[in-house]
Amino acid sequence: MSLTHYTPSEIIQRGQQRYERDIRSKVEVHHGKMLALDVDSGEYALGCDSITAIDRLKTKVPSAQVYLLRVGFPTAVKICRVGVPL
């Protein structure tokens, strides 16, 4: 099991920068898919759900520091209260 050497805010910052700079234009056609990105190497993997994307990335980079996002959306998931309309 890998140890995280970045704070959560550092992972977010590094992940967003790397995604915008190097990856976004390559994966925009996969709108709605989950993308797991190693903030150190820039390796990434896509999946229909977060577990699949992370598993695929960890196969390539076992010690990955993972930034997760949903392609084409501002957040990976949306949290809401039950019974409250979106």
Q: Which residue has the tokens 């970045």?
A: 6
* Domain encompassing residue 54: 8-70
- Mean pLDDT within 15-38: 96
Q: Report the pLDDT value the prediction gives residue 21, as an integer from 0 to 100.
A: 96
Residue 86 included in any domain? no
| Run of H or E residues at 44 | strand 44-47
**Number of compact structural domains in the chain:** 1
Residue 15 included in any domain? yes
Residue 2 included in any domain? no
Residue 85 included in any domain? no
Q: Report the pLDDT value the prediction gives residue 81, as an integer from 0 to 100.
A: 64
Distance between CA 8 and CA 4 in Å, rounded? 9
| Beta bridge pairs of residue 46 | 35
pLDDT digits (tens, 9 = 90+) for 43-86: 999 999 999 999 999 999 999 999 999 999 877 776 666 665 65
